[in-house]
């Protein structure tokens, strides 16, 4: 299974990518997680990426493409992968196609997660994240067992700096301008499926599993 999860910030791509990765034993490649880890480790790439991320802007294509190329070469991706948050621009999509073709591979499909804007803002503003293991929670929809503490590793949860209202607005605008054109890009290549991602996490997972079922049989 080689799939891309596409959709605006906060539609639930990361939440579902985590579950699909565990269920189908495929790698989850989240460029947001990779970049946040680089920021946390204060690597040169992380230092460069931080100012873009805090403002809700996209990190330059060359930086992100390098990260994804390295990850795709990892043996953990041999059985398949879910790309979460990449590609986000047409040049990134073209680079992905080239990188896969060089390994005689291709994408099976692209799932476009769709959620009304008001719900997206509600999901993002209530999100709490683990800075250590990147697990994600929500103050209303996905509460941790102990308030403010990560279920998985026990670290204190934080609000991501780009989940402040101003950065959310910028991210949604950036999505409309730079990432939404990928819907047409992949539709023209007959790779696109739409997913109503407005239900609960479990309901969305069920629908998503149906969308992905044909890729399991290849």
Q: Closer CB to ligand AP5, residue 14 or residue 217?
A: 14
Is 69 a residue of the active site?
Answer: no
Cβ nearer to ligand AP5, comparing 61 with 218: 61
Q: Is 12 in the site for ligand AP5 (CB under 6 A)?
A: yes
Of 1, 6, 11, 150, which one interacts with ligand AP5 (CB under 6 A)? 11
Note whether 19 binds ligand AP5 by CB under 6 A: no
User: Considering the rule CB under 6 A, would residue 14 count as an interface residue with ligand AP5?
Assistant: yes
Tell me which residues in 150-169 interact with ligand AP5 (CB under 6 A).
Answer: 162
Kindly write down the DSSP assignment for every residue of the chain, as one continuous string.
Answer: -EEEEE-STTSSHHHHHHHHHHHHT-EEEEHHHHHHHHHHTT-HHHHHHHHHHHHTPPPPHHHHHHHHHHHHTSGGGTT-EEEES---SHHHHHHHHHHHHTTT----EEEEEE--HHHHHHHHHTEEE-TTT--EEETTTB--SSTTB-TTT-PBPB--GGGSHHHHHHHHHHIIIIITHHHHHHHHTT-EEEEE--S-HHHHHHHHHHHHHHHHT-
- By CB under 6 A, the residues from 70 to 109 that bind ligand AP5 are 85-86, 88, 92
Binding mask 33-62 for ligand AP5 (x = CB under 6 A): --x----------------xx--xxxx---
Give residues in contact with ligand AP5 (CB under 6 A): 7, 9-15, 31-32, 35, 52-53, 56-59, 64, 85-86, 88, 92, 123-124, 127, 136-138, 141-142, 162, 171, 200-201, 204
- By annotation, the residues acting in catalysis are 13, 88, 127, 160, 171
């Amino acid at each position: 299974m080689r799939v891309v999860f596409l959709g605006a910030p906060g539609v639930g791509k990361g939440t579902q990518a985590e579950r699909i990765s565990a269920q189908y034993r495929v790698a989850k490649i989240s460029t947001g997680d990779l970049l946040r880890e680089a920021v946390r480790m204060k690597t040169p790439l992380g230092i460069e990426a931080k100012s873009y991320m805090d403002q809700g802007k996209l990190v330059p294509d060359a930086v992100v493409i390098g990260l994804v190329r390295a990850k795709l070469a990892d043996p953990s991706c041999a059985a398949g992968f879910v790309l979460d948050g990449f590609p986000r621009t047409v040049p990134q999509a073209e680079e992905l196609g080239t990188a896969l073709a060089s390994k005689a591979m291709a994408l099976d499909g692209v799932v476009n997660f769709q959620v009304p804007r008001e719900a997206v803002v509600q999901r993002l503003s209530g999100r709490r994240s683990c800075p250590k293991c990147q697990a994600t929670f929500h103050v209303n929809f996905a509460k941790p067992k102990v308030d403010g503490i990560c279920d998985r590793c026990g670290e204190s949860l934080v609000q991501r700096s780009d989940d402040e209202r101003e950065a959310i607005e910028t991210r949604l605008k950036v999505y409309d301008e730079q990432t939404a054109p990928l819907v047409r890009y992949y539709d023209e290549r007959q790779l696109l499926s739409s997913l109503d991602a407005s239900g609960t996490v479990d309901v969305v997972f069920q629908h998503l599993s149906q969308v992905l079922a044909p890729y399991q049989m290849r």
